[in-house]
Amino acid sequence: MALLSVRDLAVQFVTRKATVRAVNGISFDLEAGATLGIVGESGCGKSVSSLAMLGILPKPAGRVTRGEVDFDGVDLLKLPDSQLRQVRGKDIAMIFQDPMTSLNPVLTIGRQITESLRKHLDMSKDEAKKEAVSLLGRVGIPAPEDRIKDFPHQFSGGMRQRVMIAMAISCRPKILIADEPTTALDVTIQAQILDLLKHLVAEENMALILITHDLGVVAGTCERTNVMYAGRFVESATTSSLFARPRHPYTLGLLKSVPRLDAARKEKLEPIGGTPLSMTQDIEGCAFAPRCIYATDKSREETPELARIDSDDHLVACWNPVPDEDLPHVEVVATQAEGRTAR
């Protein structure tokens, strides 16, 4: 049985003026130790769906309208707050994009790490402190005994994200949800953090849900990738299959619109035309149809469900999947930057 099983989760934000349909029925399973990437552009509902799973949607506007989130045989959506708090931070931990605003600026790093250790694992003050030092060491912070007394502003962005990761893994969670963990960081620091996450997930047998807009980040980190558009998954496949044979026109569009550092330079980029729909309207048919070159009348009338294509592992929600002859062919250019690094 899967560790986490999400079924038909839907989230709305209700205000006096409008109702925003942020998530419109997503389902997925996550096995222990698996790495899942969720990719989509801003406003597609990728962050909101994980907030909903953990019961931390902004109140009172945000509400889960239907669905189940089954974790270890329990539906998290039905748990009372007090019991959900036992799961959150302990079994399922989350790190966010902005490490500055997610740390408390007036408490020392040590105090913030020991808080969850003492609460969830019932450690004494001294035990918790020792554990915190060892955690900071594990995430690659030099001189952890000294740094534990420092405040968040005394750390750089990359170091703060390391602190966040130390906090998240402190109770040995079964699932780590990382929401754009490297978006605010420079590329050399991003490479450090992704490398750290990959190592930790492997060592601890943690499952990882990595939420990002960057296709390059999932390509190097996740075994499986779900592509999200307008609150629904439009494609779900092993990462290698998804990148080799993208079947949803939106996935293909995303891949074609980013310039690749290693590819021969193209004359023009191929953007996806148009802009995403406003999520306040009722969407009839496929939400991507207005921007899609493969759309037919059926696409505009009937909403496609995720269904098997190519193999059992590759699902796509599309009436007219991308045909083989339209798949991109990338001409890779050699660089000496990497060949030289082999020792």
Partner 1 sequence: MTGEGASELLRVEDLKVYFPIKSGLVIDRHVGDVKAVDGVTFDITKGETLGLVGESGCGKTTVGRTILRLYDPTEGRIIFEGNDIARLAQREMRKLRGRMQMVFQDPYSSLNPRQNVGNLIAEPLKIHGIASGDNARRRAEELLDIVGLPKASTARYPHEFSGGQRQRIGLARALALNPDLIVADEPVSALDVSIQAQMVNLLEELQEEFDLTYLFIAHDLAVVRHISDRIAVMYLGRIVEVASADELYASPRHPYTIALLSAVPIPDPEIESSRERILLKGDLPSPANPPPGCRFHTRCPFRQPERCDTEVPELRLLSDGHLAACHYAEEIKAGKITMHDSGEVPAHSA
Rounded CA-CA distance 235/154 in Å is 42
- Please report whether residue 336 would count as binding partner 1 according to CB under 8 A: yes
Q: By CB under 8 A, tell whether 330 contacts partner 1.
A: yes
> Is residue 332 a contact point for partner 1 (CB under 8 A)?
yes
94 makes contact with partner 1 (CB under 8 A)? no
Taking each helix axis as running N to C, give the angle between helix 157-169 and helix 187-204, from 0 to 180 degrees, rounded to the nearest 10: 10
Distance of CA 118 to the CA centre of its chain: 28
Question: Please, are residues 211 and 180 in contact by the beta-carbon 8 Å criterion?
Answer: yes
Any alpha helices (H) in the chain, and if so which ranges?
A: 46-53, 81-87, 109-121, 125-138, 144-147, 157-169, 187-204, 215-221, 239-244, 249-257, 297-301, 336-339
Which has the closest alpha carbon to 142: 126, 156, 128, 153?
156
Interacting residue with partner 1 among 75, 146, 270, 305 (CB under 8 A): 270
Q: Which amino acid is at 148?
A: I
Kindly tell me which of 270 and 297 has the beta carbon lying closer to partner 1: 270
Residue whose C-alpha is closest to residue 332's, from 269, 271, 256, 261: 261
- The minimum distance between CB 141 and partner 1, in angstroms, equals 8
Rank residues 65 and 238 by Cβ distance to partner 1 and give the closer one.
Answer: 238
For partner 1, which residue of 86, 124, 156, 205 counts as binding (CB under 8 A)?
Answer: 156
3-state DSSP assignment of residue 38:
strand
Query: Is residue 190 near partner 1 by the rule CB under 8 A?
Result: yes
Q: Which is nearer to partner 1, 262 or 326 (CB)?
A: 262
Figure out which of the listed residues 172, 220, 302, 327 binds partner 1, where binding follows CB under 8 A: 220
CB of 240 to partner 1, least distance (A): 5
Q: Specify the 3-state DSSP secondary structure of 264.
A: coil
Among 31, 41, 68, 115, binds partner 1 (CB under 8 A): 41
Cis preceding linkage at 60, omega within 30: yes
Nearest residue (CB) to partner 1, 123 versus 200: 200
Helices 109-121 + 125-138 axis angle, to 10: 120
Q: Check binding of 186 to partner 1 (CB under 8 A).
A: yes
Q: C-beta of 157: minimal distance to partner 1 in Å?
A: 8
Strand order in the sheet with 62-71: 19-30, 4-14, 62-71, 74-75
Q: Rounded distance, CA 324 to CA 343, Å?
A: 40
Interaction of residue 187 with partner 1, rule CB under 8 A = yes
Using CB under 8 A as the binding rule, whether residue 334 contacts partner 1 is answered as: yes
Contact residue for partner 1 among 159, 177, 234, 306 (CB under 8 A)? 159
Q: Binding of partner 1 at residue 18 (CB under 8 A)?
A: no
> What are the residues whose beta carbons fall under 8 Å from the beta carbon of 66, sequence distance 6 or more?
8, 9, 10, 25
Give the x/- contact pattern for partner 1 in 225-264, rule: CB under 8 A.
--------------xx--xx--------xxx-xxxxxx--
- Residues of the shown chain interacting with partner 1 in the complex, contacts defined by CB under 8 A: 41-42, 138-140, 142, 156, 158-159, 186-192, 194-196, 199-200, 203, 213-217, 219-220, 239-240, 243-244, 253-255, 257-262, 265-266, 268-272, 275, 330, 332-338, 340-343
